[in-house]
Amino acid sequence: MKRTLTPTLEIFMKSALIALLALATLAQTASALTLTEIGRHDSGVFKKSAAEIPSYCVSTKRLMIVNAHKGAIDVLDLSDPAKPTLIETHDVAGELGGNMAVVNSVSVHGGLMAVAVEADPKTDPGKVAFYSTLDLKLLGSVEVGSLPDMVTFTPDGLKVLVANEGEPNSDYSIDPEGSISVIDLSEGVAAAKAMTLGFQAWNEGGAKAEEVPMLKEKGMRVFGEVTLKMEPLETRPATVSEDLEPEWIEVAPNGQIAYVSLQEANAIAEVDLMKMEVSRLLPLGFKDFGAKGNELDVSDKDGINLRSVPGLYGLYQPDTIRLMTRKNKLYILTANEGDARTRPEDDDILPGMEEGDLFSDEMKLKKFNVEGTPFAEMTEDEDLGRFKFAGDLVKDHAKEDGTVTKLFAFGARSFSIYDAESGKQVFDSGNDFESITAEEVPELFNMSNSKTKVDDRSRSKGPEPEGMAVAQIGKKTYAFIGLERTGGIMIYDVTKGKKAKFLGYEMNRKAVESLKLEDKSPNPEAGDLGPEGLIFIAADESPNGNDLLVVCNEVSGGTVIYEISTK
């Protein structure tokens, strides 16, 4: 005789089955990949960028760390990854002399180290200095563009590429063009020369100027004019080449194409290294925060509260980008941090100027005409009242009478995967980062990396994914994404691209009363704060024969070495 379960029992058994399946899935996921801390080096310096970007030298088994605090490179002996030892803090800026001031990036290839150095003032040309990784001897330097923010070698080591961000000075009276310098090392460092590639072709009257309206429609962000901080207030035109500010560079495995993140502009530039030109710009579009799966927390006054906000869109604005190849297709992975161009401090405000004038692109809802729109019901601090919007885009999309139709946020609070050939997004992690941290570390949810207030960053870019490393281990590819504000490392299996899967969250930050001690050094009880630079060291190049992940933490000033297990 057929038996029929009572509704209550049926629901109970279904729920139990679902729970068992969830536990089984979680167990499988948890065992797929693990990170185990095996070593660390602490600078003892809090919130001064004493550990930013790492690079590893295979031949010397040394780890080179950007110590922006001292304008130097910290050289660590990594021959025993469990006991990294400081060999030397090499004063790069001091050795170069002149107006060289801040070290921003480092890259190593075949015993040669390239260091990107910013000038003071930052609007002046910077330099790339070259050193032997064995004896740290200065071999030469090459002048590049303004504010060289990132440096990397091509796979064959014959070229060095530099992302010259070209940020404006504080009052916008000087705004250098963003550019990419390509340094030719084919005849050695002594004969090294730099060719600098820019974006003038997209300026008014340029060969590609007609593309700009279409690029803006698809999500690329340029200003067109800026307001100068002076009395009386005045505006001046801003060119596309001034607005585009290169942030990060990745080179394709064949060494022929490079991809450059243009963070503030919400785009990626493709550079043809054979023709030595910027070949195209790839706008990244907007993320719909009203769509299911893209919920976010928009207020720092409402506790943990993820919700859909129809009409709110996010600019992806990646900082770090990485590449991976799957089935002969190249993909671009982006850590969608978000970034405003300028933020006026209180003492920057002049008569007749308020927070939100065009020279500052961060604006609040009260600056817009929302009368008669759904946003009119969202002006309280517990809602969108304190949220920071990209004011220029809100104005660009408003009706003729100024009534707001769409709102735009900085950053997408996620990581994404794009088809490099078409520029099409094939995956985005949605609201994973906020939903996972809300569940696993609610006491640290959207907390700043230098403060201890829960929910503090919800009104401004949330957890801020910034650094990223991609690892090919066996037949699988993994992505490790650092959350700059909340802290911790998100781990994904990205082998199948559009079907990327979350594997785990490595978090060693703790909720403590103070992040620093009385002597202003980092509080060790707080854990690691502000993961900035991440690199993967493959087992066949690793000092101990195991796959490693190195993470530099900008705020707590420490470098951590993790061992990766995929068993």
| Phi, psi for 215 (deg, rounded to 5) | -65, -40
Task: State how far Cα 265 lies from the chain centre.
Answer: 13
The Cβ-side half-sphere exposure at 225, using a 13 Å CA radius, reads: 8
State the CB neighbour count (10 A cutoff) for residue 162.
Answer: 29
| Alpha-carbon distance values, 19 to 13, 22, 26, 502 (Å) | 10, 5, 10, 19
Rounded Cα distance, 137 and 126, in Å = 20
State the CB neighbour count (10 A cutoff) for residue 245.
Answer: 26
Rounded Cα distance, 150 and 288, in Å = 30
| Phi, psi for 279 (deg, rounded to 5) | -90, -35
Contact 241, 184 (CB under 8 A): no
Question: Who contacts 3 (Cβ-Cβ below 8 Å, separation ≥6)?
Answer: none
Q: What angle do CA 324, 106, 220 make, to 5 degrees?
A: 55
Residue 123, Cβ density class (10 Å: 0-12 exposed, 13-18 middle, ≥19 buried): middle
Task: Say whether pLDDT at 234 is over 80.
Answer: no
Contact 46, 515 (CB under 8 A): yes
At residue 437, the 3 state secondary structure works out as: helix
* pLDDT (0 to 100) of residue 482: 98
Contact 366, 354 (CB under 8 A): no
**Banded pLDDT at 205 (limits 50, 70, 90):** very high
Paired sense of beta strands 407-410 and 312-315, if any: parallel
The percent of residues above 90 in pLDDT, for the chain, comes to: 85
* pLDDT (0 to 100) of residue 52: 97
| Alpha-carbon distance values, 484 to 28, 111, 210, 463 (Å) | 28, 30, 37, 7
Helical H segments across 128-211, by residue range: none
Task: Say whether pLDDT at 124 is over 60.
Answer: yes
Average pLDDT, integer, range 352-357? 46
* pLDDT (0 to 100) of residue 173: 81
**Phi-psi map region of 151: left, alpha, beta (phi>0 left; psi -120 to 50 alpha):** beta
How far does the chain reach from its first CA to its final CA, in angstroms? 47
Task: Say whether pLDDT at 18 is over 60.
Answer: no
| Phi, psi for 70 (deg, rounded to 5) | -110, 5
**Banded pLDDT at 235 (limits 50, 70, 90):** confident
Residue 154 identity (one-letter amino acid)? T
Question: Who contacts 320 (Cβ-Cβ below 8 Å, separation ≥6)?
Answer: 248, 261, 334, 335, 466, 467, 468, 534
Residue 258's nearest CA partner among 155, 328, 361, 378 is 155
pLDDT in tens, 439-492: 999 999 999 999 999 999 999 999 999 999 999 999 999 999 999 999 999 999
At residue 331, the 3 state secondary structure works out as: strand
**Banded pLDDT at 553 (limits 50, 70, 90):** very high
State the CB neighbour count (10 A cutoff) for residue 346.
Answer: 6
Task: State how far Cα 272 lies from the chain centre.
Answer: 23
State the CB neighbour count (10 A cutoff) for residue 191.
Answer: 10
Task: Say whether pLDDT at 181 is over 60.
Answer: yes
* Least confident window among 55-59, 77-81, 172-176, 249-253: 172-176
pTM of the model: 0.92
List, as one string, the DSSP characters of 173-207.
Answer: S--PPPEEEEEE-TT-GGG-EEEEE--GGGSTTST
Task: Say whether pLDDT at 26 is over 70.
Answer: no
Rounded Cα distance, 177 and 197, in Å = 10
* pLDDT (0 to 100) of residue 32: 82
Task: Say whether pLDDT at 8 is over 90.
Answer: no
Average pLDDT, integer, range 151-159? 98
Contact 279, 273 (CB under 8 A): no
Task: Say whether pLDDT at 318 is over 50.
Answer: yes
- How high does pLDDT run on average in the chain? 91
Structure tokens at 425: 């997004």
Average pLDDT, integer, range 125-146? 98
* pLDDT (0 to 100) of residue 69: 83
* pLDDT (0 to 100) of residue 100: 97
pLDDT in tens, 416-450: 999 999 999 999 999 999 999 999 999 999 999 99
Provide the total of helices (H) and of strands (E) in the chain, helices listed first: 6, 35
Paired sense of beta strands 414-419 and 286-288, if any: unpaired
